Amino acid sequence: MNRRNFVTRGAAGMAGILMSSPLTGRSAPLPAKATTLPGPPSFDLMKEVMKYRKIDVHAHIYWTDDSPETQLDYGRRLGIEKQVISRYLDVMPGTPEQFRKFNDLTIKAIKKYPDQLLGGFVLNPVYQKESLEEIKRCTDAGMIGPGELYYQVKINDPKYFPIIEKLIDLKMIIHSHAECQLGVGGYRMKYNGYKQPNTSIPEDFVDIARRYPEGIFQYAHIGMGGDWEYECKLFREYPNIYVDTSGSNNAENMIDFAVEHLGEDRLFFASDNSYYQGVGRILSANLTDRQKQKIFFDNYNNLLKKGGRGVD
Amino acid sequence: MNRRKFVTHTVTSGAGLMLSGILAGAAHKQEPDIYTGNQKQPFMQEVLKYRKIDAHAHADENQYKPEVNLDFADRLGIEKLMISNFIRPFSEGRPDDFRTRNSFTIKCMKDHPGRFIGTVALNPAFRKESLEEIDRCRDAGMTGLGELYNQVKIDDPLYYPIIEKCIDLNWNIMMHSPVGHSRVKLYQSEPKNISLPEDFVSIAKRYPEALFQFAHIGGGIDWEYACKVLKDVPNVFIEVSGSNNAAGMIDFAMKYVGEDRLVFGCDYSFYQGVGQVFSANLTDAQRKKIFFENIAKRLKKAGIHVN
Amino acid sequence: MLIDINAYVGHWPFMQLKYNNCAALVERMNKYGVETSVISNLNGIFYKNTQSANRELYDELKALGTHRKRFIPFAVINPTYAGWQYDLEECVKKFGMKGVRVYPKYHDYEITDPALVELVKRTRDMNLPVAFNYKMVDSRQRSWMDIDYVAYTPKPEWTLKNIFPIIKAVPDAKYMILNVTNSMQLDAADAALFKKAQVLMDTSGRTINDLDSLLKTQGTERFAFGTHAPILDYLTGMLRIESLRPAEADARVKELLRSGNAKQFLGL
Amino acid sequence: MLIDSNAYIGHWPFLRLAHNTPETLLGRMKEFGTDASVISNLNGIFYKNTQHANDELWEAIRSKRIYTDRLIPFAVINPVYGGWRDDLEQCTTRMGMKGVRLYPQYHGYEIATPSCVELVKRCRDKGLPVAFCLRMVDSRTSSWMDLDKEWTLKDIVPIVKAVPDAKYLVVNVANSMALNTEDMDLFRKADLLFDSSGRNITNWADLFKSFGTGKFCFGTHAPILDYFSGLLRIESLRPTEADEKTKAQLRSGNIKKMMGL
């Protein structure tokens, strides 16, 4: 098997092919010297999969009886060492009673599988006092930071300020759901009426990241159905915004594009429970082994270490 | 003449415009081409070289003034124009209406002898009057039907006696075509009874000896669709006029219907009508056929000798 | 051996694609051990006259020399556009195309349109498969100029229910159902009919996450490796097969998924 | 000298084009004696992220010396898309693009939307023209997926009003050029050119009377429209209608002046 071919970025002969075709909408002519093997050598995909340590930084558990065992089974299948889980708050208005109940589910799971699951809590800044108390309760129960914060309040709303300040003190990664105006929710903010109005959008992340340059922000799921080109271009100048690559869309070239615009240090591997796409889109990107390892594991773990929560 | 050249002889004069350096940091893989630019070409000489009959023209007292027609014709070397004063869409097209219109066409022919070939407007819903009008107009020197409009579909039985008379006279039958199928459905503002490409096929197959002219594929129809539908009906000419001089339209039509069935026309869009023929990938002989010979042959059958 | 039953070349208007020509795709195939790819031209989805796209693909393959045999070209046909019968003949007889791809949503006709029924019957009589897909791209991040079947709205993306009527109308044709990204639910009677039909589904779609169960409920002969490349990444469709455990799929079944089912279905 | 102010390379989704690469466009230019062409990439009209189209154009042009000599690139910028200011900088500095093409209809914003006004002002400050088209293709014949509305000249008015001292190129003038007295005055005073490709460029006498001979320039709108009609409109002017000096202005003088070539 030709391993080198797979892992080397920009294998010779590729560069020329990539540029020319889109101009005409037709294919570029055959490169002068193309491979003339009778058949391609076989490729050991599972060996490649298992080569990398992985933390899935965006996953969820459910209220169903098979959770989290089903999620863990996917993890084992694909060599995912740890998953950062949360039970996101997909209810309105999201009262303290509700978020406590949601977090209890997560606490139960991480207690049961302490080696495989990392817990993320949810809260609702409309209830400031209760949210701050919940941070304490969950941290004491061993959670590593917020899980996917949801659509009750925009991430740059002043209601979030005390919460974010607390999370900064605790050196936690601030992870929030978001949707892009060019995509989910309708084109160019012409919201189609099926979305919660306080859902965070990329511009809200930029706003809050500028206000708190010391905050570490995790923009959720660039593969979830928003316009990832728009998102990456917008975040280019804001080094404290990281993107997780989760979502059910495994668009070809998404990872390459994100690395080009954000650099290899600002991407996290994640599935949002689309495990195959999560692993597949990173392995198929034109990245070196080292770059893949950073995205699969190191980038996130290095940030965890800052808060003394590293996993190795 | 070289297919790929606008004109055979080009004059090269002086140095070209040097734009090098516009692109900062441009790295070149190749040395400069021998092309120096600034080749002033005798465009008008080439344009005027070809004899032309505009197979789709109009004349009336308002929108399509005969003098404007002739001014453009002189400018672009169009020898003759096949004019009509067509029955307007959404009007009933009663006999006194089309008679008045045809009389104006006859007057234009008289005012400018040798320049206009008048074609007859009629409405087959008025059978007797239409057949009589053919005779009256023929006596006054007109030839062929045109531009027939949307009062009756071309394959409607009402047209049969009219078409049969035209077969006897070897007359060309030119009919309007719709803005159709572009957005899957027919354009909404199209009048009822508009003739579709499919209707032309059906009537052309019923009367293989009749001479039809499908109007203006550059006039707003999906010309790829039209050419594909009309591919196998040899007695339908495809006339290329219209305000859309889409690049590639004539080349596409050549592939589907061929050089013997394409005819030049302007429909009052003179620049586009002439320009697109010179822009297409045609030989000298093919240009001659499209500009002149194909339609001249048909006219000759009807007794109009333009040579 | 791997056969990819769902790949493309050509242009996607709303986004720059990489690896979207045959030469680049060959490199991709060599890198990941894929022997053969079924391809069609994306341009056929948008050109009103789809035959321009089929001709482009034919010309490109002709220019490809020995690599040509690495590809199995499919034609894009719009049965509501003039001359399609002639186009189909030309694609099959002159261009050597081995199947047909149709795009009812992009070409704006119903799944039960008589023209489509006629097309499917013709392909059946030529023993060629006709391929449908759930969608080309995720509607949530589409361009506003793209079609407006949008998830979570009153006009949602397709599910198997939207494709099924044509299978019901012509039950003895060969169908490929690609990029399975939404529900595969059918009511009981339809599900039974669907199970009897000759259907091959590819592994590129996000609904194929529990392939183990699908093999049990649908049967091992109904799935085959597909990438939906270059729109989706090259490896996820493969990963769904390769990561099956021996208890879920033995070596024989894996080989069926990698290439056996495709060979059988396409008559290779 | 002959300069085409309105040409393209790239892909049109709904119709297969010929002559849509630098090589084939150059073939057309040689055939008709065009010395230089202003070009942009059609892909930028449809890509959500237009910068890919500008990258493609830049790569294509610098691949051969003769392209750099003969082709004048314009960027396609969408001022309501993420990162457009950065894109504009890249295009006008590193890539050396000489103007900007805007497509409010295709990119879905109002012509005088604040970000478009900002973009036009930035171009003005850089001395670069911005180009608008009244339509790319006939809406009647295009695909059902294409736009169903076309513009008239009136639709350009709001931006010229908002930034009267910018340089404007209005191409493919296919629909009405009627303006009220005030707007006509605005246009007359503006540094603005119409190209000769559109079907409404028909009656030169009226056009010269309304706008003056300094407001027009040669343009083909190739490879969407045929290569010759835009040129024929100029070449077939009689000496009584336009003397050689005026014709030279139309062929290249006016656009050279605007572009500072």
Instruction: Please state which of the ranges A26-30, A129-133, A254-258 shows the lowest mean pLDDT.
Output: A26-30
Contact present, A212 and A164 (Cβ < 8 Å)? yes
Whole-number average pLDDT of chain C:
94
Residue A23: C-alpha distances to residues A17, A119, B19 (Å): 12, 47, 23
pLDDT digits (tens, 9 = 90+) for B170-199: 999 999 988 765 545 677 777 888 899 999
Q: Which residue has the tokens 């990664």?
A: A173
Nearest to C82 among B182, B184, B229 (CB): B229
Q: What is the pLDDT of residue B18?
A: 43
Contact present, A268 and A294 (Cβ < 8 Å)? no
Q: Which two structure tokens, joined as six digits, stand for A239?
A: 């080094």
Q: Do A19 and D59 touch (CB under 8 A)?
A: yes
Restricting to D residues 176-235, those with a Cβ less than 8 Å away from any Cβ of C are none
Average pLDDT over residues A165-192: 76
Contact present, A208 and A156 (Cβ < 8 Å)? yes
Count of CB atoms situated within 10 Å of the CB of D138:
23
Class of the domain covering C3-266: alpha beta
Q: Which residue has the tokens 């061993």?
A: A142
Q: What is the pLDDT of residue A96?
A: 98
Q: Which residue has the tokens 């586009």?
A: B272
Q: Do B220 and D36 touch (CB under 8 A)?
A: no
Q: Which two structure tokens, joined as six digits, stand for D170?
A: 């209005």
pLDDT over 90 (residue A9): no
pLDDT digits (tens, 9 = 90+) for C125-136: 999 999 999 999
Q: What is the pLDDT of residue A184?
A: 52
Polymer length of chain D: 261
Q: What is the pLDDT of residue D132?
A: 98
Nearest-angstrom CA–CA distance, D239 and A159: 75
Sign, CA dihedral C134-C139-C145-C147, equals: positive
Q: What is the pLDDT of residue A19?
A: 36
With beta carbons under 8 A apart, name residues in chain C contacting A40: 29-35
pLDDT digits (tens, 9 = 90+) for D69-100: 999 999 999 998 888 998 999 999 999 999 99
Q: What is the pLDDT of residue B141?
A: 96
Q: Do D49 and C15 touch (CB under 8 A)?
A: yes
Compute the C-alpha angle D72/D76/D81, nearest 5°.
Answer: 160
- Touching subunits of D (3+ CB pairs, under 8 Å) are A, B, C
The answer to whether residue B28 is domain-embedded is no
Chain A meets chain B (3+ C-beta pairs below 8 A): no
Q: Which two structure tokens, joined as six digits, stand for D127?
A: 């001395």
Average pLDDT over residues D48-53: 92
Q: How confident is the model at residue A193 (pLDDT cuts 50, 70, 90)?
A: low
Instruction: Please state which of the ranges A229-233, B160-164, D9-13, D189-193 shows the lowest mean pLDDT.
Output: A229-233
| Higher pLDDT among residues D140 and A145, named by residue | A145
pLDDT over 60 (residue A17): no
Q: How confident is the model at residue B134 (pLDDT cuts 50, 70, 90)?
A: very high
Nearest-angstrom CA–CA distance, B274 and D227: 11
The candidate with the shortest Cα–Cα distance to B197, out of B166, B210, B182, B130, is: B182
Q: What is the dihedral of CA B208, B213, B214, B218, to 10 degrees?
A: 150
Q: How confident is the model at residue D127 (pLDDT cuts 50, 70, 90)?
A: very high
Furthest CA-CA distance within chain A: 69
Percent of chain B with pLDDT over 70: 85
Nearest-angstrom CA–CA distance, D215 and D257: 11
Q: How confident is the model at residue B26 (pLDDT cuts 50, 70, 90)?
A: very low
Q: How confident is the model at residue A226 (pLDDT cuts 50, 70, 90)?
A: confident
Nearest to A24 among D11, D13, D86 (CB): D11
Q: Which structural domain range is residue B150 located in?
A: 46-301
Q: What is the pLDDT of residue B181?
A: 55
Contact present, B19 and D208 (Cβ < 8 Å)? no
CATH classification at residue B83: 3.20.20.140
pLDDT over 80 (residue A194): no
H helices of B42-196, in order, are: 43-49, 66-76, 95-111, 127-139, 160-169
Average pLDDT over residues B207-235: 93
- Give the count of domains, chain B: 1
- Helix, coil or strand: residue C37: strand
For residue C142, give how far its alpha carbon lies from the nearest alpha carbon of chain A (Å). Answer: 6
Nearest-angstrom CA–CA distance, C150 and C160: 16
Nearest to A230 among D20, D60, D82 (CB): D82
For residue D49, give how far its alpha carbon lies from the nearest alpha carbon of chain B (Å). Answer: 22
Contact present, B14 and B38 (Cβ < 8 Å)? yes
Fold of A55-306: TIM Barrel (3.20.20)
Q: What is the pLDDT of residue C231?
A: 94
Q: Does B181 touch chain C (CB under 8 A)?
A: yes
Average pLDDT over residues A260-266: 96
Q: What is the pLDDT of residue C214?
A: 94
What are the φ/ψ torsions at residue B84 (nearest 5 degrees)? -145, 160
pLDDT digits (tens, 9 = 90+) for D201-236: 999 999 999 999 999 999 999 999 999 999 999 999
Q: How confident is the model at residue D170 (pLDDT cuts 50, 70, 90)?
A: very high
Average pLDDT over residues D32-60: 95
For residue A248, give how far its alpha carbon lies from the nearest alpha carbon of chain D (Å). Answer: 20
Q: What is the pLDDT of residue D138?
A: 87
DSSP H or E segment with residue C214 = helix C211-218
Q: Does A229 touch chain D (CB under 8 A)?
A: yes
Average pLDDT over residues D44-60: 95
Rounded to a whole number of angstroms, the CA Rg of chain A reads 20
Average pLDDT over residues D57-65: 96
Whole-number average pLDDT of chain B:
87
Count of CB atoms situated within 10 Å of the CB of A162:
14
pLDDT over 80 (residue C198): yes
- The whole-angstrom distance between residue A203's C-alpha and the CA centroid of its chain comes to 18
Average pLDDT over residues C30-46: 96
Count of CB atoms situated within 10 Å of the CB of D96:
19
Q: Do D14 and C48 touch (CB under 8 A)?
A: yes
What are the φ/ψ torsions at residue A113 (nearest 5 degrees)? -125, 65
Chain C meets chain D (3+ C-beta pairs below 8 A): yes
Q: What is the pLDDT of residue B180?
A: 60
Residue C236: C-alpha distances to residues C233, D7, D217 (Å): 6, 41, 53
CATH classification at residue D71: 3.20.20.140
Q: What is the pLDDT of residue B41?
A: 77
For residue B182, give how far its alpha carbon lies from the nearest alpha carbon of chain C (Å). Answer: 8
Q: Does D53 touch chain C (CB under 8 A)?
A: yes
Best mutation site among D49, D62, D107 for testing chain A: the one with the most A CBs within 10 Å?
D49
User: Across-strand partners of D73?
Assistant: D39
H helices of C108-159, in order, are: 114-125
| Higher pLDDT among residues B185 and D50, named by residue | D50
- Cβ contacts of residue B189 below 8 Å, gap of 6+? none
Q: How confident is the model at residue B306 (pLDDT cuts 50, 70, 90)?
A: confident
H helices of B170-222, in order, are: 197-206
- Helix, coil or strand: residue B242: coil
Q: What is the pLDDT of residue B11?
A: 36
Q: Which two structure tokens, joined as six digits, stand for C255?
A: 């080989």
pLDDT over 50 (residue A239): yes
| Higher pLDDT among residues C265 and B5, named by residue | C265
Q: How confident is the model at residue A311 (pLDDT cuts 50, 70, 90)?
A: very high
| Higher pLDDT among residues A4 and B120, named by residue | B120
Q: How confident is the model at residue A192 (pLDDT cuts 50, 70, 90)?
A: low
For residue D191, give how far its alpha carbon lies from the nearest alpha carbon of chain C (Å). Answer: 33
> Could you give the angle at which helices D84-92 and D51-61 cross, rounded to 10 degrees?
10
The answer to whether residue B52 is domain-embedded is yes
Average pLDDT over residues D119-125: 98
The 3-state secondary structure of chain A reads: CCHHHHHCCCCCCHHHHHHHHHHHCCCCCCCCCCCCCCCCCCCCHHHHHHCCCCEEEEEECCCCCCCCHHHHHHHHHCCCCEEEEECCCCCCCCCHHHHHHHHHHHHHHHHHCCCCEEEEECCCCCCHHHHHHHHHHHHHCCCCEECCECCCCCCCCHHHHHHHHHHHHCCCEEEECCCCCEECCEECCCCCCCCCCCCCCHHHHHHHHHHCCCCEEEECCCCCCCCHHHHHHHHCCCCCEEEECCCCCCECCHHHHHHHHHCCCCEECCCCCCHHHHHHHHHCCCCCHHHHHHHHHHHHHHHHHHCCCCCC
pLDDT over 80 (residue A189): no
pLDDT digits (tens, 9 = 90+) for C90-128: 999 999 999 999 999 999 999 999 999 999 999 999 999
- Give the count of domains, chain D: 1
Q: What is the pLDDT of residue B14?
A: 35
With beta carbons under 8 A apart, name residues in chain D contacting B28: 62-65, 68
Restricting to D residues 222-241, those with a Cβ less than 8 Å away from any Cβ of B are 222-233, 235-236, 238
Q: What is the pLDDT of residue A40?
A: 86
Nearest to B184 among C49, C83, C108 (CB): C108
Whole-number average pLDDT of chain A:
86
